[in-house]
Structure 1
């Protein structure tokens, strides 16, 4: 039989999704690995979905998104970006933020081009570059605050990349890039003539005093920024697979062609129902921020009280925990972070993601938890993790 494509040998399946599958094999284990909320979308969206189920549409919508969805997106993001967004030429609705990123990278990159990726990174970015035939250039984000070294970043730009990918707020670190950091990235991208592809799916899950600033809103950046986003996290509908690209008309026109042949289009009835969410007012986003602030304080505060070393997130619903002390225990000696996560599921019934799946560098000291769960679930997880923390106390 002929050989398979060589590119599929250069990356693995999603470790995040793999941890969910492992968790599901363990009765009563609590999944804090794959980051999907365990609560419903807004009621106005669900009510609209009931009507759509009977009224339609049930056939293809316009390939790059139903007109009313694009209009709602333009109305939502024009004030945020600080410039007029044309729904007819500057928006492409995709099958989730995952496809938005894949289509964007494929749109701007030819085989052999280079793309800057911050490390740690959401695991899809490396695969996106490889599947596009591009070569990632990794620039480290330095714990515990996960800032970047400007000289190191410029060194990467000197290799003349076609684009840089910026996840803001950042999965897995929870970092929210400040205006000076974004301005520095934008200045380098302009000087070295590179695109900026942003992943802003956690834009509304940000904790005071941090604020989310769209890269496309910075002076001079709209013409070279491709914003990828999704309805999944903001409206708790990860299974609906609705994402979108916003950018200059010439880029979006090309991205629409890539999108067309990747997926044809996003689900028409789900688009129709989602418009009700996009039309929600400021109160919804304020309540969402308050909800996740509470959940962050519950899980992260609980972990800190138990003695875990964590990096408090500025945004997203993820937290990175340092497991170095556990790996020094006799029962965990020699474990990789993946083996530690598998052991934690078996012994304590809590699932996390091994941090090594996010790093280009050799890294074995972090795991990632998510806290988009009910309070009772988070409290149960803390009780189990408290029993695990007693292992450290017994060796002190």
Structure 2
């Protein structure tokens, strides 16, 4: 019996492969994006309290507990001025990954085209395939200041079969944060062609420097055609809790809920109560967390440059992309492409990274690798020290 042909191109994820390699070689894992410290202790204790008090130990409501849906609605209004009805316009999911899967399965039919920014998070491709849709990548091009979106290429990619623009900002893996003029152009395109937008905003609070995160749903004509997705894992450093959410119009959220109920139905009961409290933490928490990660980003960018990489500094997320071509030019072995480099790096330097090429349909990602800097400073210091020995 053969498996579903739609998934024939998808095997073990690169994250599983590289994390297994990290464990086998006792290397520092800067590949998969998870912190090596837990989030706020009071939020952890809130989950413990919920378990002890029997809140969420049995099936929670299908759309999510009321307290969390209210906190999500409050968060969207507090930070962005977006008003959502917690009863009809907010849905709690098993992390952003389920939210993305359920949204694509709900909105995409066989033959529909989905525009994605390339490189793209690997689950996008699998979920589009499961829905029977066609993935149409629009490449973010590398430059001295990072990655940029060519709006003319985006417009040219739209056809009569286009149904959805799958947006990701702040963007994983490049760290790109789309500016207002870019988002406005995307919004105009969506309105002109009557397209739906699924906006993955899980790194919304991790934006550095003078760039700010702007949800596309805030722009004219976009609230009624946008599903916004986020989660607690990246903002609060509890990635294992898998608490995500979707906000949008009642019709769009109901469509996602109709799929979600046959995926997990419900999940993360006690953790939902804890995240309801986390979303109402004072603004100082979000600022201090962002500033802490900005310092780690700077540490990693400097260390990678000193090790001989060309670095494309991120404006958001907790990943930094590095170009291995200068190492190849300097005679460092096994630098012919990102996958070869990353598979040899744990043995050579005791560090694990992710090759960006697995997130591309084109060949533009071949020389790029991604490092996660959401780790303890001591861990990052040691990783940088090891990487400096690459050319020796």
CA contact (8 A) 1:44 1:276 kept: no
Q: Could you say which residue in structure 1 is the equivalent of 2:16?
A: 17
Task: Choose 4-13 or 166-175, whichever is displaced more.
Answer: 4-13
For the structure 1 residues 147 and 331, does the alpha-carbon distance in structure 2 shift closer, same or farther, using more than 3 Å as the test?
A: closer
Per-residue CA distance 1:190-225 (angstroms, 9 max, x = gap): 101111111100000110111100111112210001
CA contact (8 A) 1:30 1:351 kept: yes
Per-residue CA distance 1:1-26 (angstroms, 9 max, x = gap): x2221112122321123211111111
TM-aligned CA deviation for residue 335 of structure 1 = 4.1
Per-residue CA distance 1:262-313 (angstroms, 9 max, x = gap): 1111221111122221110101111111111111111112222333201000
CA contact (8 A) 2:34 2:237 kept: yes
Gaps of at least 5 residues in structure 1 are 392-396
2-side partners of 1:304 and 1:311: how far apart? 10
2-side partners of 1:176 and 1:232: how far apart? 19
Q: Could you say which residue in structure 2 is the equivalent of 1:310?
A: 311
Q: Could you say which residue in structure 1 is the equivalent of 2:134?
A: 135
CA contact (8 A) 2:7 2:126 kept: no
Q: Could you say which residue in structure 2 is the equivalent of 1:379?
A: 381
CA contact (8 A) 2:117 2:167 kept: yes
Task: Choose 117-126 or 332-341, whichever is displaced more.
Answer: 332-341
Residue 366 of structure 1: which of 368, 380, 385 is its match?
A: 368
2-side partners of 1:138 and 1:48: how far apart? 42
Per-residue CA distance 1:211-260 (angstroms, 9 max, x = gap): 10011111221000110111000000100011000011100011111010
State the TM-score, normalizing by the size of structure 2: 0.96
1-side partners of 2:349 and 2:302: how far apart? 20
Gaps of at least 5 residues in structure 2 are none
2-side partners of 1:342 and 1:191: how far apart? 45
Q: Secondary structure at the match of 1:321?
A: strand
Counterparts in 2 of 1:112-151, with a 5 A limit?
A: 112-144=111-143, 145-151=146-152
Q: Could you say which residue in structure 2 is the equivalent of 1:31?
A: 29
1-side partners of 2:123 and 2:328: how far apart? 27
Counterparts in 2 of 1:1-396, with a 5 A limit?
A: 2-27=1-26, 29-57=27-55, 58-144=57-143, 145-328=146-329, 332=333, 335-362=336-363, 363-388=365-390, 390-391=391-392
CA contact (8 A) 1:157 1:189 kept: no
Q: Secondary structure at the match of 2:371?
A: strand
For the structure 1 residues 331 and 310, does the alpha-carbon distance in structure 2 shift closer, same or farther, using more than 3 Å as the test?
A: closer
For the structure 1 residues 52 and 184, does the alpha-carbon distance in structure 2 shift closer, same or farther, using more than 3 Å as the test?
A: same
Task: Choose 278-287 or 299-308, whichever is displaced more.
Answer: 299-308
TM-aligned CA deviation for residue 326 of structure 1 = 2.8
Per-residue CA distance 1:73-117 (angstroms, 9 max, x = gap): 111112334232100000110000000111111111111111001
CA contact (8 A) 1:295 1:375 kept: yes
Q: Secondary structure at the match of 1:202?
A: coil
Q: Could you say which residue in structure 2 is the equivalent of 1:394?
A: none
2-side partners of 1:314 and 1:4: how far apart? 40
Q: Secondary structure at the match of 1:360?
A: coil
TM-aligned CA deviation for residue 127 of structure 1 = 1.0
CA contact (8 A) 1:158 1:192 kept: no
Q: Secondary structure at the match of 1:254?
A: helix
Per-residue CA distance 1:290-346 (angstroms, 9 max, x = gap): 111111111112222333201000000100000113345666357442221111101
Q: Secondary structure at the match of 1:10?
A: coil
1-side partners of 2:375 and 2:82: how far apart? 36
1-side partners of 2:191 and 2:261: how far apart? 30
State the TM-score, normalizing by the size of structure 1: 0.95
2-side partners of 1:334 and 1:255: how far apart? 43
